[in-house]
Chains A and B, each alone.
Chain A
């Protein structure tokens, strides 16, 4: 029973009964095939006109299936499980190496089938090593229709191809998509033509390019949308949206910066010379200055610290100046800008600390990075309290020299944020702290 069920799934051209233990090659014989064909249709077509669905899918678990297990279009080369007159399935079982045609398919009665089959088995396997096994199996399974359709070894070339009887059931996605999923996958991995992607036109004449030509993206207008790869399309779309958002932000920033003029030089900052079109943002008030002017003002040592560290317009003290390419209106924008600025500074080595070989007077309040050459970050503790001194002693001069050198060595060419030459900011930052010692320190930078 189990055997027959299982073997019914074999629709290949050669079905080997591996469990029989036969090691010989089973080849169908041409004339046996003829026999099969001649004998079967009359039975199956007359009684079971409808084809079993399960059978078509490859497996019918019902032994007593009332539907035809015959393919609707019979090709002469197809070997399908067949039925005998009792509706029992008969499968070809090439269980021996003697290429003897089995008579099972021809028999009309079950009893005859069994007896003949068993007889055949016995007789045929009499010489074979495993005849007992085969025999016992034959007896155990009350119905074990074994149809052998041996094929000649030399005829393997003409052996039937396995052709699916019906196209596989399609998913909705496949139905929507005209291309076969296999093709789809294949196409989706194909590259886009770089010429079209880059310039919008292919250097090959139409139809001769071996790559795919992308579809136009609605947002960027470039032919970069992969026609088949949904993932790539989505990815590009997201990139485009991101870029668009960036562009929008930039244009807003430009719009709000365009008219802004510096409160010190009175020039429109965006109309200043290249390299001077930078804003110096004060954290504690909303007055607008160009970076050059506000820095210069904060270095005007002829005035008291309180004066120069205050906004020239409103006199609100700010600890430092944050450079920016654009004007910031809202608090969120400003906070983000300042945060980014501090983050950027914290990645730059402090030139006082000198990777551990120097000493930073600003201690752990320094905006710059205090790390050793191996990258280990060091907490140098709070800034030491500066002694009040009226005269510059040697140490002060040393610091002063560094400061001046630093100012000149710093790369000011960075377009977005000058991460350097914020010395005065740092100095002033600390001179703001409650102990006025720092303002003394400030004086050394004249």
Chain B
């Protein structure tokens, strides 16, 4: 069984490497071990989204029952997205759960994730806070997501305001990421974030 999984990953690997998306640096897969069970994926943030310019690293674990069961995928790169946990990187995507199909591949999974970045599903959230912001204060969501992309995924858009606020909190002895999460959760209102952090 594991043999089928390994065989298939091997073949998929070739497919991904040859694919157009790789040529455009949109997706990438690399092996972490020799038995084809652990892989590292990379997707580029889709254009015209707050994730543009960022590179998001994914942890892919191929089950023995692959391809009859989906691979277990999560974001290693911190990301601000309604369907991705800002804490764990867990993804809420139907095809990685009950809508999996045996004909899907690593490539299609990565492309689906890329699509997910451009089209979030706030009604089926993984991260409730992000989803709430996405729905209620989308402008702030855009800012936050762009900031996170800049900080964690190497995105080009530096947001001076956000950086300053984080620095303020850091000066108070708050860990930088913790400060960023608190500020992001409270629409970058320094006071409320501070209250939450020190309550």
Q: B67 within 8 Å of A by Cβ?
A: yes
With a CB–CB cut-off of 8 A, which chain A residues contact B102? Answer: 263-264, 293, 297, 300, 312
With a CB–CB cut-off of 8 A, which chain A residues contact B8? Answer: 265-266
With a CB–CB cut-off of 8 A, which chain A residues contact B32? Answer: none
Cβ < 8 Å to B, chain A residues 268-308 = 287, 293, 296-297, 300, 302-304, 307
Interface residues in chain B, defined as those with a beta carbon under 8 Å from any beta carbon in chain A: 4, 7-8, 11-12, 67-69, 98-104
Q: Contact: A303 with B103, CB < 8 Å?
A: no
Q: A267 within 8 Å of B by Cβ?
A: yes
With a CB–CB cut-off of 8 A, which chain B residues contact A263? Answer: 102-103
For the complex of A and B, list the 4 residue pairs with the smallest distance between their C-beta atoms, beginning with the closest.
A312-B103, A312-B102, A312-B101, A263-B103
Report the number of A-B residue pairs with Cβ-Cβ less than 8 Å.
41
**Nearest Cβ distance between residue A355 and chain B, in whole angstroms?**
36
**A300 vs B99: C-alpha distance in the bound complex, in angstroms?**
12
Q: Contact: B101 with A265, CB < 8 Å?
A: no
21 residue pairs of the A-B complex, CB under 8 angstroms, read A264-B67, A264-B102, A264-B103, A265-B4, A265-B7, A265-B67, A266-B7, A266-B8, A267-B7, A293-B102, A300-B69, A300-B102, A302-B69, A307-B98, A307-B99, A310-B101, A311-B103, A312-B102, A312-B103, A312-B104, A315-B101
With a CB–CB cut-off of 8 A, which chain B residues contact A411? Answer: none
Q: Contact: A287 with B103, CB < 8 Å?
A: yes
**Nearest Cβ distance between residue A118 and chain B, in whole angstroms?**
115
**A189 vs B101: C-alpha distance in the bound complex, in angstroms?**
66
**A312 vs B67: C-alpha distance in the bound complex, in angstroms?**
10
Q: Contact: A304 with B103, CB < 8 Å?
A: no
**A294 vs B103: C-alpha distance in the bound complex, in angstroms?**
10
Q: Which of A267, A296, A302, A313 contacts B101 (CB 8 A)?
A: A313
In this complex, the interface size class of chain A, counting residues with CB under 8 Å from chain B, is 10 to 19
**A231 vs B10: C-alpha distance in the bound complex, in angstroms?**
60
Q: Contact: B68 with A307, CB < 8 Å?
A: no
**A265 vs B101: C-alpha distance in the bound complex, in angstroms?**
12
Q: Contact: A297 with B68, CB < 8 Å?
A: yes
**Nearest Cβ distance between residue B178 and chain A, in whole angstroms?**
38
With a CB–CB cut-off of 8 A, which chain A residues contact B68? Answer: 264, 296-297, 300
With a CB–CB cut-off of 8 A, which chain B residues contact A266? Answer: 7-8, 11-12
Q: Contact: B101 with A307, CB < 8 Å?
A: yes
**Nearest Cβ distance between residue B3 and chain A, in whole angstroms?**
10
Chain A, Cβ-Cβ closest to B67: A264
With a CB–CB cut-off of 8 A, which chain A residues contact B12? Answer: 266
**A284 vs B8: C-alpha distance in the bound complex, in angstroms?**
26
With a CB–CB cut-off of 8 A, which chain B residues contact A264? Answer: 67-68, 102-103
Q: Contact: A303 with B100, CB < 8 Å?
A: yes
Q: Contact: B99 with A313, CB < 8 Å?
A: no
Q: Contact: A304 with B101, CB < 8 Å?
A: no
**A302 vs B104: C-alpha distance in the bound complex, in angstroms?**
16
Cβ < 8 Å to B, chain A residues 242-278 = 263-267
**A263 vs B67: C-alpha distance in the bound complex, in angstroms?**
10
Chain B, Cβ-Cβ closest to A300: B68
Chain A, Cβ-Cβ closest to B104: A312
Chain B, Cβ-Cβ closest to A303: B98
**Nearest Cβ distance between residue A314 and chain B, in whole angstroms?**
9
**Nearest Cβ distance between residue B66 and chain A, in whole angstroms?**
10
**Nearest Cβ distance between residue B151 and chain A, in whole angstroms?**
38
Q: Looking at A265, A307, A315, which has the most chain B CB atoms within 10 Å of its CB?
A: A265
**Nearest Cβ distance between residue A340 and chain B, in whole angstroms?**
27
Cβ < 8 Å to B, chain A residues 300-333 = 300, 302-304, 307, 310-313, 315
**Nearest Cβ distance between residue B15 and chain A, in whole angstroms?**
8
**Nearest Cβ distance between residue B65 and chain A, in whole angstroms?**
8
**Nearest Cβ distance between residue B102 and chain A, in whole angstroms?**
4
Q: A296-B68, A304-B98 are in contact. Are A313 and B7 (CB under 8 A)?
A: no
With a CB–CB cut-off of 8 A, which chain B residues contact A311? Answer: 103
**A59 vs B84: C-alpha distance in the bound complex, in angstroms?**
114
**Nearest Cβ distance between residue B77 and chain A, in whole angstroms?**
29
**Nearest Cβ distance between residue B4 and chain A, in whole angstroms?**
6
With a CB–CB cut-off of 8 A, which chain A residues contact B69? Answer: 300, 302
Chain A, Cβ-Cβ closest to B100: A303
**Nearest Cβ distance between residue B191 and chain A, in whole angstroms?**
48
Chain A, Cβ-Cβ closest to B105: A266
